Amino acid sequence: MEDSARARIRSSFAAQTMMATLGAELIEIDAGLIRIAAPILPGSQQQQGFGHAGLTFAIGDSAAGYAALTMLPPDNEVVTAEIKINLLAPARGDRLVATGRVVKPGKRLCVVTSEVHAEHNGASTLIAILQGTMVPVPA
Amino acid sequence: MEDSARARIRSSFAAQTMMATLGAELIEIDAGLIRIAAPILPGSQQQQGFGHAGLTFAIGDSAAGYAALTMLPPDNEVVTAEIKINLLAPARGDRLVATGRVVKPGKRLCVVTSEVHAEHNGASTLIAILQGTMVPVPA
Amino acid sequence: MEDSARARIRSSFAAQTMMATLGAELIEIDAGLIRIAAPILPGSQQQQGFGHAGLTFAIGDSAAGYAALTMLPPDNEVVTAEIKINLLAPARGDRLVATGRVVKPGKRLCVVTSEVHAEHNGASTLIAILQGTMVPVPA
Amino acid sequence: MEDSARARIRSSFAAQTMMATLGAELIEIDAGLIRIAAPILPGSQQQQGFGHAGLTFAIGDSAAGYAALTMLPPDNEVVTAEIKINLLAPARGDRLVATGRVVKPGKRLCVVTSEVHAEHNGASTLIAILQGTMVPVPA
């Protein structure tokens, strides 16, 4: 990937105020693969004190969306048409890491998946998988 | 529904710090139906300034989960096993309202749906539909 | 709806050999709503003798797809981009009836839902709900 | 895996009359992984002459379900609670092969995925991915 493409993704990510609210960071940008990490902030919890499904979803969906964007020409953004999440284990630990991947790129539709792991005391547990469709739109 | 059941749901909702972060409020509690409203806060936006899919998901998922909880005995909580969201229109406006409903209650699995509307200048637009599965767990 | 639009849908349905294999019939065509019925044939069962999830899916998906087609100009077909099914009860009975509906029509994407009921001894039970996305393609 | 476990899965598969109707065969049984192949029979087509989504779904869902069953004690069957399919390309070719895998086994819920490839003139194309939840039930 060119530096300009990476810069474009960083700039779009920085414009998502929700990512800042959740403390999320873009930690890897490659062609067809994006990683986003986020702590489980005091303000991101569900009723049992684990990370909220909304947190897991938000970084999983964003990682998948930006993975799609890495495959598109510079004048595009993407929006999520639909995405499904299966939650496998509580979001417990020091931080969550979402890895988004492109399964099938396309100009009309881009099919993506995402995995979210929770890191806790040096171990990493798969807590969610997502499968969805991103739609390119003009930037 | 009994007042004690309503109080239990209000108490669980209040323990979800993510709901406070998003400014979300529980505005209706009935047997099999929950409504949650949230403004599109400056910190809840995506890169184009609309509400983030994570916001729409978080209130849609929570409304569906609490709808399931209204059908269960007092010693239960629910967790989301899986849920899918189709996004229909940008989350634009003064506030979002999620309505969760139970399609099929059950002791092992509870199938739910949710609709999210955006209210803007007095009009209400359906912006997302969700379909998922909640699992009862001991409180 | 015009008779020509109804005829076009009947003709497309008749070209789906899978529908004939399953004994499925188009029993209602309206703007944004399609009903398909099918018996649980001896050759359509799963290992416990109930209707196979593939049968329930096939008529639920087709009803949703044709519901989308009722909203499109004459020179279109639709293909399923994605669809999710939640199975609520065994497919037991005399016949299954799938009702597909359009939630949001569109030239690029059409969001649809479908419900499948099993009719048994005069009673009708909701056995599955589907939520998906259809994509218009040139006929 | 023990031979008795493999025999049990072959026996359950043989009881699914839908698999015979579709010409489907169980071609691989391993712990957590099942492969099912099916031709695109004259009676399994959609309106454009490609394999029907119902065929792709039926073998993808069954492969995922039997993959779950390989992880369970002998006195179980599984039923699909929910599953989602993203269709990536037309089902065109000599035969379809579905590969089901277990992502997270469990006594209450088992999370699974499935991939379906179409084989055509010696090439293999990924045409669908599925993500779902299987529920163990007494045999």
Closest residue in C to B110 (Cα) is C88
Measured between beta carbons, the chain D residues lying within 8 angstroms of B133 are 81-82, 133
Distance of CA D126 to the CA centre of its chain: 14
Assess whether pLDDT exceeds 90 at residue C79: yes
pLDDT at C1: 83
- Chain C nearest CA to D122, separation (Å): 25
Average pLDDT over chain C, rounded to an integer: 96
Work out how many domains chain A is built from and give that number: 1
User: For residue range C4-50, what is the model confidence (pLDDT) as tens digits?
Assistant: 889 999 999 999 999 999 999 999 999 999 999 999 999 999 988 99
Calpha distance B19→D67 (Å, rounded): 38
In whole angstroms, give the CA distance from residue C66 to residue C102. Answer: 9
Model confidence over D37-60: pLDDT tens digits? 999 999 999 988 999 999 999 999
Q: Looking at residue C31, what is its pLDDT? A: 96
pLDDT at B139 (0 to 100):
83
Helices D3-14 & D53-69 angle (0-180, nearest 10): 150
Closest CA–CA distance from residue B3 to any residue of chain A (Å): 20
Residue pair C31/C44 in contact by the 8 Å Cβ criterion: no
Q: Which residue of B has its CA nearest to C82?
A: B86
- In B, what residues contact D, Cβ < 8 A? 81-82, 84, 108-109, 111, 133, 135
What residue in C sits closest to B104 (Cα-Cα)? C88
| pLDDT at D61 (0 to 100) | 98
Amino acid C139: pLDDT: 83
Q: Nearest residue on chain C to D44, judged by CA atoms? A: C18
Cβ neighbours around D32 below 10 Å, total? 16
Helix (H, G, I), strand (E, B) or coil at B67: helix
C57 pLDDT tier (thresholds 50, 70, 90): very high
Q: What percent of chain D has pLDDT over 70?
A: 100
pLDDT for the residue C132? 98
Please write the tens of the pLDDT for every residue from C88-105.
Answer: 999 999 899 999 999 999
Residue A80: C-alpha distances to residues A68, C119, C139, D107, D126 (Å):
10, 37, 27, 33, 22
Contacts of C87 in chain D (CB under 8 A): 79-82
Are C87 and D77 inside 8 Å of each other by CB? no
The 3-state DSSP class for residue B128 equals: strand
CA-CA-CA-CA dihedral for A33, A39, A44, A50, to nearest 10 = 100
Residue A1 pLDDT = 83
Contact B82 D133 (CB under 8 A): yes
How confident is the prediction for chain A on average, in pLDDT?
96
* Per-residue model confidence (pLDDT) at position A16: 96
Tell me the sheet residues that pair with B99.
B35, B115
Is the separation of the CB atoms in C54 and D18 below 8 Å? yes
Cβ-based contacts under 8 A for chains A and C: 17
Give the count of Cβ contacts less than 8 A between chain B and D.
17
> Which of B84, B108, B111 is closest, CB to CB, to D84?
B84
Q: What CATH number is given to the structural domain containing D14?
A: 3.10.129.10
Contact state of B108 with D82 under an 8 Å Cβ cutoff: no
Burial class (CB in 10 A: 0-12, 13-18, 19+), D76: middle
Structure tokens at C30: 């309206």
Return the residue in B87, B104, B117, B133 with the most chain C beta carbons within 10 A, the one to mutate for interface testing: B104
- DSSP, collapsed to helix, strand or coil, labels residue B5 as helix
* Confidence bin at D25 (pLDDT 50/70/90): very high
Predicted ipTM beyond 0.90: yes
Binning pLDDT at 50, 70 and 90, where does residue A101 land?
very high
Query: pLDDT value at position A27?
Result: 98
Overall average pLDDT of the C132-137 stretch:
96
Chains contacting C (3+ CB pairs below 8 angstroms): A, B, D
Q: Measure the CA–CA gap between D83 and C48, rounded to whole angstroms.
A: 19
Question: CA torsion, points C122, C125, C128, C133, in degrees to nearest 10?
Answer: 70
Looking at beta carbons, which residues of chain A come within 8 Å of B15?
46-48
Of A16, A53, A81, the CB nearest to B52: A16
Compare CB distances from C108 to A82, A84, A108 and report the shortest one's residue: A108
Chain B residues whose beta carbon lies within 8 Å of the beta carbon of residue D109: 81, 135
Low pLDDT (below 70) residues in chain B = none
- D1 band by pLDDT with thresholds 50, 70 and 90: confident
Asked if A103 lies within 8 A of D84 by C-beta distance, the reply is no
Token digits for C105? 């029509």
Residue D139 scores a pLDDT above 90 = no
Which of C104, C109, C112, C113 to probe the B interface (max B CBs under 10 A)? C104
What's the mean pLDDT when you consider all of chain D?
A: 96
CA–CA separation, A83 vs D137, rounded Å? Answer: 28
- Structure confidence at residue B54 (pLDDT): 97
Distance of CA A100 to the CA centre of its chain: 6
Does the pTM surpass 0.95? The reply is yes
Task: Indicate the residue of B104, B111, B129 with minimum beta-carbon distance to C103.
Answer: B129
**pLDDT in the model for residue A25:** 98
Residue B94 CA to chain centroid, in angstroms? Answer: 17
Alpha-helical regions (H) of chain D: 3-14, 17-21, 53-69
Which range marks the domain in which residue A107 is found?
Answer: 3-138
Mean pLDDT of the A97-116 span:
97
What's the pLDDT at D98? Answer: 98
Cβ contact (<8 Å) for C83 and D83? no
